[in-house]
Amino acid sequence: MKNYLYLCRTTPNHTTIMNARLFYACGLLPLGCLPGCSPDSRQNPNIVFVLADDLGAECLDVYGGTYGTPNLNRMAEEGIVYENMHSLPLSSPSRVQVMTGKFSYKNYVAFGYMNPDEHTFAHLAKAAGYDTAMIGKWQLGRSRELPEQFGFDYWCLNQLEMYKEFSPSTMGTYTERYANSYVDDMGHYEFTLYGPDYFQERVFEYLEDRKDSDRPFFLYYTMPLVHTPHTPTPDSDSWDTDYNGRFTSNTANFPDMVRYMDKQVGGLVDKLKEEGLWDNTILIFVGDNGTSTRILSEMQDGSFIRGGKGATLDCGTNVPLIITYGDRTLPARRSGRLVDLVDFMPTFADAMGVEVPEEWDTDGISLYPEICGETPLEREYTICHFNPLWPAAKTENTARIARTARYKLYDDGRFYDAENDPLEQNPIAAGSGTAEEEALREKLQGILDGLPAWTPNETDIPRKGDYGTFYDFAGPQNPF
Ligand SMILES: [Ca+2]
């Protein structure tokens, strides 16, 4: 446990970063000399944190995909592409984990819910003097009081108070996310022509309003794309000719959805540049979990990858992560370091010049030194604690894993080389690995043994919070 605490719970503070800077002083490493990006010359950068929905890394060209994502390619050319970014396999647990910076076993209590007493990265931003906003998908509990309670000054969201009420079965031809979707814009219901466009417009307005402000801003943009249903976009050939088709899910529409999402990211980059915000804004693009299992993606090398949403396979957790910081992250590069959703909280803290309060009990390691071209603190291990906590019983994928970038040890003893066995079909039997593998197995087992006991089979464990009214579906559904 001691080793684990040292590796995964250390929040880099100024002293740590200063020491790193002194060691890798200007002149020794060219990346250490980038202009205007260091703790000493920090100018409270704006932060735009974009979270795409159900987007595995395999969907982007820069990870070998073939859908055509030129705007994310362009962003990659100006920033850092992370190859080992891992989320949890499902939206709600990923969203709680990223907003609170804590591993899921500590504070995730139910699908579609976050306890109102949690501390979030928006609270951190407000404490640092930032304006805060959240635009896009919510899914963290039903109450219009919650977004402000979680630290957002402005919000425009779906999946807040009204969720399933306006479904096609009850309200006719409306959807939660896409064509004719409804959103809650600071307490006013709005019906949209296409939900992602409405959110993008609110993002643009927000940036226009902020450009002359003397306060920095933190914008959390949770894009609805590319989650199911797989429906046409306004750029699809059928959009103008087949009205009913706008509400019909077909995986044939998936490439259009990826391209539309990519186009929106490109529009966001252009807007930041137009408004003169680009050079003092850290822009982060990341996925919340793997692609729908209905999607089979062809890769540039001719292979195919099945979406892994809901599974703890790497195709369920390896999501894209691209970060830019104006012209300060040049030259563009790729990073193989292991990154977890918990790492964004301390990254923001470092960028904002504040520290995450110790009592928040967070688990992240800051990426900020790497964003600034300095040598980052490596994350050797991370914890994937996956328990969807539906109103129904646990799924077959419920599991707890300690992992490095390459190896994964499950709480039931299965041990995999995920790099060479991504579908986890050939567990390394105890004692049959190399000496290095066996040593690592022992280390990872020590980490798992140090975690609090977990009894996922008990369905009636009292959990904190009033979450019973949010996601009341009857009968089994396949959310993946
Ligand atoms: Ca998701």
pLDDT tens-digit map of 84-95? 999 999 999 999
Confidence of residue 112 (pLDDT cuts 50, 70, 90): confident
Query: Domain of 340: which CATH number?
Result: 3.40.720.10
Scored b (16 or more CB within 10 A) or e, 139-155 reads: bbbbeeebbebbbbbbb
Q: Give residue 331 CA to ligand 1 midpoint distance, Å.
A: 31
Q: Give residue 360 CA to ligand 1 midpoint distance, Å.
A: 25
pLDDT of 5 reads: 26
pLDDT of 328 reads: 79
Q: Give residue 288 CA to ligand 1 midpoint distance, Å.
A: 5
Q: Give residue 87 CA to ligand 1 midpoint distance, Å.
A: 10
Radius of gyration, CA atoms only, the chain = 21
Q: Is residue 412 part of a domain?
A: no
Q: Give residue 220 CA to ligand 1 midpoint distance, Å.
A: 15
pLDDT tens-digit map of 225-241? 999 999 999 999 999 99
Q: Give residue 53 CA to ligand 1 midpoint distance, Å.
A: 4
Mean pLDDT of 431-452: 97
Q: Give residue 8 CA to ligand 1 midpoint distance, Å.
A: 25
Asked whether the predicted pLDDT for residue 306 surpasses 70, the reply is yes
Mean pLDDT of 126-153: 94
Confidence of residue 457 (pLDDT cuts 50, 70, 90): low
Asked whether the predicted pLDDT for residue 479 surpasses 70, the reply is no
Q: Is residue 442 part of a domain?
A: no
Which of 221-230, 384-393, 396-405 has the lowest average pLDDT?
A: 384-393
Q: Is residue 29 part of a domain?
A: no
Q: What angle do CA 234, 227, 204 make, to 5 degrees?
A: 55
Residue 399's nearest CA partner among 418, 384, 414, 419 is 384
Q: Is residue 338 part of a domain?
A: yes
Residue 180's nearest CA partner among 251, 239, 257, 109 is 239
Asked whether the predicted pLDDT for residue 70 surpasses 90, the reply is yes
pLDDT of 99 reads: 98
Q: Which residue has the tokens 């933190």?
A: 218
pLDDT of 365 reads: 96
Q: Give residue 3 CA to ligand 1 midpoint distance, Å.
A: 32
Spatial separation of the C-alpha atoms in residues 112 and 436, rounded to whole Å:
41
**Secondary structure of residue 446 in the 3-state scheme:** helix
Most confident of 105-114, 164-173, 418-427: 418-427
Question: How many structural domains is the chain composed of?
Answer: 1
pLDDT tens-digit map of 3-34? 222 222 233 333 333 333 222 222 223 333 34
Structure tokens at 415: 């041990």
Q: Give residue 218 CA to ligand 1 midpoint distance, Å.
A: 22
Q: Give residue 177 CA to ligand 1 midpoint distance, Å.
A: 13
Q: Is residue 19 part of a domain?
A: yes
Q: Is residue 434 part of a domain?
A: no
pLDDT of 256 reads: 98
Q: Is residue 461 part of a domain?
A: no
Asked whether the predicted pLDDT for residue 103 surpasses 80, the reply is yes
Asked whether the predicted pLDDT for residue 462 surpasses 90, the reply is no
Mean pLDDT of 210-224: 95
Residue 368 backbone phi and psi in degrees, to 5: -60, -40
Spatial separation of the C-alpha atoms in residues 339 and 277, rounded to whole Å:
27
Q: Which domain holds residue 333?
A: 2-24+44-384
pLDDT of 245 reads: 92
pLDDT of 374 reads: 84
pLDDT of 175 reads: 72
Asked whether the predicted pLDDT for residue 399 surpasses 60, the reply is yes
Q: Give residue 412 CA to ligand 1 midpoint distance, Å.
A: 26
Asked whether the predicted pLDDT for residue 393 surpasses 70, the reply is no
pLDDT of 191 reads: 86
Confidence of residue 257 (pLDDT cuts 50, 70, 90): very high
Helix (H) or strand (E) holding 52: strand 46-52
